[in-house]
Structure 1
Amino acid sequence: MSTVLQLSNVVKSYGDAVALAGIDLSLPDDSYVSLLGPSGAGKTTLLRVIAGFEAPESGTIRFGGREIGGVSPHERGIGFVFQNFALFPHLTVEKNIAFGLVNRDRNPVTDTEAVRRKVRDMIALVGLTGLEGRAVTQISGGQKQRVALARTLVTEPRMVLLDEPLGALDANLRTRMRSELRAIRERCGVTFLHVTGSETEALSMGDTVLVLDRGRIAQQADADTIYNRPVSPAVARFFNCYNIFFGQVDAERFVTPAGTFPIGPTVQKSDRQAYAIRYDRIAIRPAGTQAGDGEIGIEGTFLASEYTGSAITSFFTLDDGKVFEVETHLSQAAPQSYEPHGRYGLIWKKDDAIVYA
């Protein structure tokens, strides 16, 4: 697969605050890329630098094989969809979508019929047929999102940057729009770079998932790899599905304040030593249950359970005071009741853990 965008050692600061600390990044053409990271990681800054709204202090940006560091935003061939949609409230759906075609500096489309045809095709693509003459103040949030996307796509960019495009939508609409965005992208054959703070959204939408941490790309991989094999404790913690113990390796064991665990086959090189086990890899057993061959067991005191629809998350405190989480999927087992402040065994397979060393 060819590369559409390449960044090399891109640095961007605001005073003493470093937003991008030497970004190296290569994105494939014709793909959906999710950019994930905690607040303040530099996600929006990265989009703005790629789009040309911000200039980096150093580094190079190549798009479609050419360097675009000094190219103005409207000449880069890169579309941008803002979180708040940035629609013109005094224009109709049709005129909002046509705006970029008619008013761009280079090669504006002056043929009224050509504009109408292009806009009509784009309206059909994003599912807005019948709403052409409606004011954008009279349509729903999901429809506004489609208008903003159509206004960008009608100018035929090779890449589209989306800054938390689903953030303003309610939960049900967000879920529906995930699949719609993917379908629209596939029909257009362009690369989408989608910024989100939701790990669920990133994993479900991205062919490739990028994790940005403290201004650097911490990991770039497909969703399955990045979820099951996070490359560092910081990445594992961000996905909010791993119990993480900090400690140190001692021979074939990992020593933590909560206990000493034998090391399995999955060991990742990292600048901080840690031991991670996913919430849904743990079984809850009566206190005193012995771990079997290839298993690890500790005990904890039950605190509470939280129902999330498809699963139940149970919280325990370990003897060192650490809160330990266990996720039980209801498709695999009926919900269990646990005694408040009761002691329970928490058991997992040695091979399911990740050791960072």
Structure 2
Amino acid sequence: MSTVLQLKKVIKSYGGAPALDAVDFSLPDNAYIALLGPSGSGKTTLLRVIAGFEEPDSGSILFHGKRLDGVEPHDRGIGFVFQNFALFPHLSVAENVGFGLRNRKVDPVTDTRVLATRVQDMLALVGLKGFEDRAVTQISGGQRQRVALARTLVTEPKMVLLDEPLGALDANLRSRMRSELKAIRERCGVTFLHVTGSESEALAMGDLVLVLDRGRIAQAAASDIVYNSPATAAVAGFLNCYNLFAGSVVEDVFVGPAGRFPLNTSRRKAPQPAYAIRYDRVSIRPREASLSPDEVRIEGDFIASEYSGAAVNSFFALDGGHVFEVESHLSHARPPVFIEKHRYALVWKKEDALVFG
């Protein structure tokens, strides 16, 4: 697979504080890439540097093998879909979509029939045929999102950057737009780089998931690898599905404030030692329940449960004040019922834990 974009040691600082700290990665052509990271990790700065709205302090950006140093944003062949859509409220849907074609500096489309055909074709692609004359103030959030995307795609960019494109939509619409964006990207055949702070969105949408941590790429892998095998404790934390413990490895035992956990797993090289167990890898048992040799156990007091339809998440207070979470899938059994402030054994298999450091 050919490479569409490559960043080499890209650094960008504001007031001496690095927003991007020697970022290195390559993106394949014709793929959906999700860029995941918490607020302040440098996601939007990275997009702005790629788009040309900001210049890096050092490092290089290559687009289809050519350096982008000093190339104006409108000359890069890279489209940008803003988080707030940035539509013109006084223009119709068709006028918004055709704006970039009609007003670009190089080769503007001035023939009204050609312009109308290009706009019609693009509105059909994003599922908005028949909305040409609507005001953008009179359509839904999901429709405005598609107008913003159509306005970008109609100029035929070789790559599209999307800055938290689903953040302004309600939960049901976000879920529907995930599949629509993937389908639109496949029909266009260009790479989408989709920035999000939502771990579920990144895992669901990305053929490749990049995880950004404090201005650096902490992991770049397929979504199932990121989910099942996060490269660092920070990545595991971003995924919001792992219980994390600080401590240190002493021979074959992980020692920390939560207790001593016997190890039977490979260790991942990481800057900070940590122990992680995924929420859905833990079983909840009575305190007197027996333990097999390949299992690890701690005790906690039940706090509350939270139902999400297909699963229930149960929360327990450990002796050191740490809150421990367990996810039980309801397809497996009836929803468990626990007694508030009652003490339970929380059990998992040694090989299911991830050990960092």
TM category (shorter chain) comes to: over 0.9
Question: What is the aligned partner in structure 1 of residue 62 from structure 2?
Answer: 62
Aligned-pair CA distance for 1:306 = 1.2
Q: Which amino acid aligns with 1:339?
A: I
Aligned-pair CA distance for 1:232 = 0.5
Structure 1, 273-282 or 245-254: larger mean CA deviation: 245-254
Q: Which amino acid aligns with 1:29?
A: D
Question: What is the aligned partner in structure 1 of residue 296 from structure 2?
Answer: 296
2:339 & 2:151 partners in 1: Cα distance? 57
1:104-253 alignment to 2 at 5 Å? 104-253=104-253
For 1:210-269, what per-residue CA distance to the aligned partner results, in whole angstroms no more than 9, with x for missing partners? Answer: 111101111100100001111111111111111111111111111122221121223211
Question: What is the aligned partner in structure 1 of residue 73 from structure 2?
Answer: 73
1:93 & 1:66 partners in 2: Cα distance? 35
Whether 1:82 and 2:82 are equivalent positions in the alignment is yes
Confirm or deny: 8 A CA contact 1:266 1:353 kept in the other structure: no
TM-score by length of 2: 0.98
Q: Which amino acid aligns with 1:279?
A: Y
1:14 & 1:27 partners in 2: Cα distance? 26
Aligned-pair CA distance for 1:319 = 2.1
2:316 & 2:162 partners in 1: Cα distance? 39
Q: Which amino acid aligns with 2:124?
A: A
Q: Which amino acid aligns with 1:207?
A: D
Identity, % of aligned positions? 67
Aligned-pair CA distance for 1:11 = 0.7
2:315 & 2:266 partners in 1: Cα distance? 26
- Give unmatched runs, 5+ long, in structure 2: none
For 1:153-178, what per-residue CA distance to the aligned partner results, in whole angstroms no more than 9, with x for missing partners? Answer: 00000100000111111111111000
1:295 & 1:236 partners in 2: Cα distance? 21
Confirm or deny: 8 A CA contact 1:37 1:43 kept in the other structure: yes
Whether 1:327 and 2:339 are equivalent positions in the alignment is no
2:13 & 2:255 partners in 1: Cα distance? 39
Whether 1:37 and 2:37 are equivalent positions in the alignment is yes
Confirm or deny: 8 A CA contact 1:290 1:297 kept in the other structure: no
1:282 & 1:204 partners in 2: Cα distance? 23
1:199 & 1:258 partners in 2: Cα distance? 26
Structure 1, 34-43 or 262-271: larger mean CA deviation: 262-271
Question: What is the aligned partner in structure 2 of residue 97 from structure 1?
Answer: 97
Q: Which amino acid aligns with 2:334?
A: A
Structure 1, 235-244 or 256-265: larger mean CA deviation: 256-265
2:228 & 2:79 partners in 1: Cα distance? 32
- Matched residues, number: 357
Aligned-pair CA distance for 1:321 = 2.2
2:96 & 2:299 partners in 1: Cα distance? 60
Q: Which amino acid aligns with 1:294?
A: D
2:16 & 2:62 partners in 1: Cα distance? 27
For 1:323-352, what per-residue CA distance to the aligned partner results, in whole angstroms no more than 9, with x for missing partners? Answer: 111111111121111111111111101110
Question: SS in structure 2 opposite 1:179?
Answer: helix
Q: Which amino acid aligns with 2:322?
A: K
Q: Which amino acid aligns with 1:74?
A: H
Question: SS in structure 2 opposite 1:149?
Answer: helix
1:26 & 1:105 partners in 2: Cα distance? 30
Question: SS in structure 2 opposite 1:348?
Answer: strand
Question: SS in structure 1 opposite 2:182?
Answer: helix
Question: SS in structure 2 opposite 1:314?
Answer: strand
- Give unmatched runs, 5+ long, in structure 1: none
1:167 & 1:300 partners in 2: Cα distance? 36
Aligned-pair CA distance for 1:290 = 2.4
Structure 1, 90-99 or 314-323: larger mean CA deviation: 314-323
2:241 & 2:313 partners in 1: Cα distance? 10
Question: Which 4+ residue blocks in structure 1 deviate beyond 4 angstroms?
Answer: none
Structure 1, 14-23 or 37-46: larger mean CA deviation: 14-23
Q: Which amino acid aligns with 1:117?
A: T
1:321 & 1:172 partners in 2: Cα distance? 35
2:134 & 2:78 partners in 1: Cα distance? 27
